[in-house]
Structure 1
Amino acid sequence: MRRAGPTTGASIGLVLAHGRGGSSADILGLLDHAGLPEVAAIAPDAPGGSWWPTSFLAPEAVIGPHAESAVATMETAIATLEAEGIPRASIWLGGFSQGAVLALETFARKGEGLAGVFALSGGLIGTGDAEGDPDPGLYGHGPKRFGYQGRRDRAKVWMSVHERDPHIPLARVRDSATVLTGMGAEVMTQIYPGAGHAVMRDDIEQLRRWLNR
């Protein structure tokens, strides 16, 4: 795991997950862009540069074991910040693309008590396959169940995506926002017009705004 910011004395922590083919160094660069030198950040590296080898929309039998392993890695990073004295309620999750999916999934599965999550081009994986045919709105994949447990009251969620993201279907982003709202989180969804798959200026501004509180 790679670090940025102070390792002692910080009051806010951030666990960041990189996207497919990225690295911990890449995703930690978000802190420089957002101007957050006082935030204690930690970012793990995925084996081989990818948290899972397929689309996050793949069936549970394919994606499930990879998701469980990746979420466990994020839990270890959270525990590291807690051991350094940062309260769980002051720890955020974040990521881009595949990393945004992982941040959201960690928050939904294991994020009780956390401050919130920044998901830049991501959506929830889900807890299992649901009945239904392959859906063009899910890029030809089938629907999922979202049987997450616990509440996420008072946590904040920022989810952003382009209207025509080649990897993240808008339908899954909207479903994810509904699920997390139902768990008690305050969800803000930013949909950028047109096609794209990138971190945008509004994402950086929101990161700066929320973590400077």
Structure 2
Amino acid sequence: MHKKEIVTAGKNIKEAKKALIMLHGRGAEASDILSLATHLNVKEYALVAPQATNYTWYPYSFMANPDHNEPWLSSALQLVGDIVKDLNAAGITSENIYFAGFSQGACLTLEFTARNAKKWGGIVAFTGGLIGDKLYTQNYTGNFAGTPVFIGTSNPDPHVPVERVQATTGVLKNMHAAVTEKVYQNMGHTVSQDEIDQANKLVFVN
């Protein structure tokens, strides 16, 4: 299972009023996703990036049957939940907790927040969608209460079908999230400057 290995940056959690949980992609490290924060309007945030054991949150495609990705998927979701509890205990309310992830980390970001919908600070998914061979909407409960969400993706993308991104947007909107979805033609599996700009404009609004 995933060990609780956390890399932090930015403001000290005890001093910060806002926190950003950053989830890296498959084969990457926590430090990789943290480097993205230098381009985001999060200078006053505590930055928290867990490290996936063996550099992957779950072994197979996010489009596989969720059972095939167990017990790693549940372990990853629990780890994110534990981080939220730690932040809450440090005095940072859920309304001031933000999420950002890339690729596999974006999928985990979306899956966790949809399973725990409430008024979060904001959610950014750089190329990701809800997890499963189909959408298991019975797992998604709560109300986002207008939480700003930005989802960016490429068309085509080698790992994330645009159709799943669009279906994910529909689910989140039905749960009262304020979702902005942007599809970039032939962008490739990366994070673009426009995605950074959109995240800063829509989510990380200081």
Per the normalisation by structure 2, the TM-score is: 0.90
Unaligned runs of 5+ in 1: 127-141
- Is 1:74 equivalent to 2:80 in the alignment? yes
Quick one: distance in 2 between partners of 1:84 and 1:77?
11
Change (3 A) 1:32 1:195: closer
d(CA) in 2 for partners of 1:144, 1:81: 29
1:23-172 pair list within 5 angstroms: 23-126=29-132, 142-147=133-138, 148-172=140-164
Identity %: 35
Displacement of 1:195 after TM fit?
A: 4.9
RMSD: 1.5
Instruction: Give 4+ residue runs of structure 1 displaced > 4 Å after superposition.
Output: none
Contact 1:12 1:39 (8 Å CA) reproduced: yes
For residues 144 and 107 of structure 1, the distance between their equivalents in structure 2, rounded to whole angstroms, comes to: 14
Kept in 2, the 8 Å contact 1:17–1:43? The answer is yes
Q: Secondary structure, in 3 states, of the residue corresponding to 1:158? A: strand
Paired with 2:173 and 2:33, the residues of 1 have a C-alpha distance of: 26
C-alpha distance in structure 2 between counterparts of 1:21 and 1:67, whole Å: 16
Task: In structure 1, give the amino acid aligned to 2:164.
Answer: R
CA distances 1:147-168 after superposition (whole Å, capped 9, x unpaired): 2111111111110100100000
Between Structure 1 and Structure 2, how many residues are aligned? 198
Residue by residue over 1:44-98, the C-alpha shift from the partner in whole angstroms, topping out at 9 and shown as x without a partner, is: 0001000011100001320253221111111111122222221210111110000
Query: Cα distance 1:190–1:90, how it changes in 2: closer, same or farther (>3 A)?
Result: same
Residues 126-170 of structure 1, C-alpha deviations (whole Å, 9 max, x = no match): 4xxxxxxxxxxxxxxx53332211111111111010010000000
Contiguous gaps of at least 5 residues in structure 2: 1-5
Is 1:2 paired with 2:32? no
